[in-house]
């Protein structure tokens, strides 16, 4: 990774750390939870070698970017604003956007709020869910899964941080990044989600102990609060996004998901992403189902890289 350059950029009132490589059309790679730019290590050099200017930021609250204290500073309005500032810094009117997990959600909302700045979107594992008319998002998860749902548990400031602190950082990373659970993450009554997740005794082939330690070391520096604040802003997002109720995402989009991802089979995700409602809200949509779990850009790095490149080529090979 020696050819990857690192810098911090002032955008939207915060300092954002980015990893950057290559020249050509701009591609933003947006990570999820619990991750930072390093989760795109395979795609950064691959895409740069194929003629793209690749920028993988640490999203606010994560890695070496600033971490505002208030959960209210982690709405999609803030996160999209950070990325608009990033595009302006590079003097680019448009960028390709690739995101996994929370990064996918940010990519969806960048495409919703500022479609003029997005040339094309690749979203991994988190589809676009239109805003509910009737009740805020956390209540939806509470009604569907109960108080043991990880999203519900993450709402209370400090609760997850205290639970995580019972383990060393490397173990926390293993529990999340290497989870092979296929049902939605719901802990039994009275149990914290971090205790419910298992620690695998054998690592999968796609990641090493040393790579997991990179994650552990970075979160030991930053702590988890910034990353958890994304979940704590979910209901505020619901309030703020009311003006976009029913809006469609019109930018060209490729959506990829692992067939072993959380809830893919058990809670109807497969039916949703292959069905008409999803395509109704994202008309210019291609869906690809891969063999893998949630952190698929690492687990199936070459396959995901090839899928991203084939999508980008539709626009840049004209």
Query: What's the alpha-carbon Rg for the chain, to the nearest Å?
Result: 18
* Residues in contact with 6: Cβ distance below 8 Å, sequence separation at least 6, in sequence order: 17, 18, 19, 20
Report which of 172, 203, 182 is spatially closest to residue 291, judged by C-alpha positions. 182
Distance CA 162, CA 235 (A): 23
How many residues comprise the chain? Answer: 318
Distance CA 58, CA 230 (A): 14
CB-CB contact of 101 with 32 (8 Å)? yes
Token couple for 202 = 């054998």
Buried b or exposed e, range 184-215, using 16+ CB within 10 angstroms:
bbbbeeeebbbebbeeeeeeeebbeeebbeeb
Catalytic annotation, residues: 101, 231, 294
Dihedral sign from CA coordinates of 212, 217, 222, 225? positive
Q: Tell me the HSE value of 137 on the side-chain side, using a 13 A CA sphere.
A: 18
On the question of a cis peptide bond just before residue 34, with omega within 30 degrees of 0, the verdict is: yes
Q: What is the DSSP code (8-state) at residue 38? A: G
Name the residue with tokens 């039916």. 271
Distance CA 97, CA 7 (A): 20
CB-CB contact of 58 with 17 (8 Å)? yes
């Amino acid at each position: 990774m020696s050819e990857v350059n690192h810098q911090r950029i002032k955008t939207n009132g915060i300092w954002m750390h980015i990893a950057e490589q290559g020249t050509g059309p701009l591609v933003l790679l947006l990570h999820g939870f619990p991750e930072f730019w390093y989760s795109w290590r395979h795609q950064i050099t691959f895409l740069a070698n194929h003629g793209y200017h690749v920028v993988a930021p640490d999203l606010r609250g994560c890695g070496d970017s600033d971490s505002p204290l208030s959960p209210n500073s982690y709405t999609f309005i803030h996160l999209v604003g950070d990325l608009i500032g990033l595009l302006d810094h590079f003097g680019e009117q448009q960028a390709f956007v690739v995101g996994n997990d929370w990064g996918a959600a940010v990519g969806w909302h960048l495409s919703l709020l500022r479609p003029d700045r997005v040339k094309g979107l690749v979203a991994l594992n988190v589809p676009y869910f239109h805003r509910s008319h009737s009740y805020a998002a956390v209540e939806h998860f509470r009604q569907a899964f109960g108080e043991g749902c990880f999203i519900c548990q993450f709402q209370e400031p400090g609760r997850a941080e205290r639970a995580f602190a019972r383990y060393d950082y490397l173990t926390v990373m293993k529990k999340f990044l290497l989870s092979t659970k296929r049902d939605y993450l719901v802990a039994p009554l009275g149990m914290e989600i971090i205790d419910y997740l298992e620690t695998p005794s054998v690592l999968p082939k796609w990641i090493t102990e040393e790579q997991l330690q990179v994650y552990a070391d970075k979160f030991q520096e930053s702590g988890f609060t910034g990353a958890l604040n994304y979940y704590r802003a979910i209901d505020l997002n619901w309030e703020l996004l009311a003006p976009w109720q029913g809006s469609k995402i019109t930018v060209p989009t490729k959506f990829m998901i692992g067939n072993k991802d959380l809830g893919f089979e058990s809670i109807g995700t497969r039916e949703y992403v292959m069905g008409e409602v999803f395509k109704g809200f994202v008309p210019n949509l291609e869906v690809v189902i891969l063999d893998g779990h949630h952190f698929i850009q690492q687990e199936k790095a070459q396959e995901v890289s090839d899928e991203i490149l084939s999508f980008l080529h539709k626009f840049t090979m004209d």
